[in-house]
């Protein structure tokens, strides 16, 4: 009867010649399993750190955007620094989400049922689908929303563009923008990440007197209070920013929320 003692089997395996196919395959298998274990362990250990780093980076960008808005830093200081609140909203309802919180948002958005597929006619931002929930930031002056900071995403020349869009309490006027992620061409479209260009957004109006969306990135210098200066050689990136902003302040984006804020219902 064959000896099935593990130690004996291991010794017999080690005595196999290095040219043995069985030994080669076994060693390769053992190495791959060991590597997989180490990678999995590293992923588990590092995931909380990566999550914390992303949160810290997002918070730093958020604070930088707020600091760039005239008068906002003073308002936060007067309120003791606690006036900025985080809210998860239901985009369709334009109201605070009932069953999703900041802590459960990531899990909720991992479920495809909580995403809305956009028909081509509505998908001006070129994103394909839109989450049903979003985490936003509000600054209040008493019971009135004085500033709303909204995460947005669109498509540029080379890929996705993510940003934070700051709107004044009238929900008509831009207070600022912070581009948080982009992969546009260095020296051309990538200039959207430059603070100097982003400063052009402050004070620009989103809508005309009839409520139609008029915001755009101009091809050259801005010609109205609805436009921001374009970037030479980056027309497609500018168009991507235009469509991104127009989508998210429209009825399929934050439009219902903005209407509720204007009416004092939020």
pTM of the model: 0.74
For the stretch 64-84, pLDDT in tens is 666 655 556 665 666 554 567
Helices (H), 82-234: 105-109, 195-198
Chain centroid, CA 136 distance in Å: 11
**From CA 183, how far away is CA 125, in angstroms rounded?**
16
pLDDT for the residue numbered 255 = 96
For the stretch 161-191, pLDDT in tens is 999 898 999 999 998 888 888 999 999 999 9
For the stretch 36-67, pLDDT in tens is 888 887 777 777 776 677 667 766 766 666 66
Q: What is the chain's Cα-based Rg?
A: 26
For the stretch 12-40, pLDDT in tens is 766 777 777 777 777 778 888 888 888 88
For the stretch 85-138, pLDDT in tens is 889 999 999 999 999 998 899 899 999 999 999 999 999 999 999 999 999 989
- Longest CA–CA span in the chain (Å) reads 93
pLDDT for the residue numbered 178 = 86
**From CA 133, how far away is CA 115, in angstroms rounded?**
8
72 touches 147 (CB < 8 A): yes
**From CA 80, how far away is CA 32, in angstroms rounded?**
55
For the stretch 143-152, pLDDT in tens is 888 889 899 9
């Amino acid at each position: 009867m064959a000896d099935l003692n593990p130690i004996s089997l291991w010794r017999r395996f080690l005595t196999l010649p290095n040219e043995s196919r069985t030994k080669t395959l076994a060693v390769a298998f053992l190495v791959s399993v060991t590597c997989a274990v180490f990678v999995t362990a590293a992923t588990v250990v590092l995931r909380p750190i990566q999550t914390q780093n992303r949160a810290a980076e997002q918070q730093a960008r958020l604070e930088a955007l707020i600091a760039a808005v005239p008068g906002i830093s003073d308002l936060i200081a007067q309120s003791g620094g606690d006036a900025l609140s985080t809210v998860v909203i239901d985009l369709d309802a334009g109201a605070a989400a009932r069953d999703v919180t900041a802590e459960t948002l990531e899990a909720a958005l991992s479920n495809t049922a909580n995403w809305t597929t956009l028909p081509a006619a509505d998908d001006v931002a070129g994103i394909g689908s839109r989450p049903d929930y979003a985490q936003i930031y509000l600054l209040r002056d008493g019971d009135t929303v004085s500033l709303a900071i909204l995460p947005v995403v669109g498509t540029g020349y080379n890929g996705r563009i993510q940003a934070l869009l700051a709107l004044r309490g009238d929900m008509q006027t831009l207070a600022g923008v912070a581009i948080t992620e982009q992969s546009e061409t260095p020296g051309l479209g990538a200039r959207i990440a430059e603070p100097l260009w982003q400063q052009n957004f402050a004070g620009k109006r989103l809508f005309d007197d009839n409520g139609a969306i008029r915001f755009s990135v101009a091809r050259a210098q801005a010609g109205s209070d609805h436009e921001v200066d374009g970037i030479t050689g980056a027309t497609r990136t500018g168009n991507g920013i235009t469509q991104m902003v127009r989508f998210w302040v429209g009825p399929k984006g934050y439009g219902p929320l903005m209407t509720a804020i204007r009416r004092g219902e939020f």
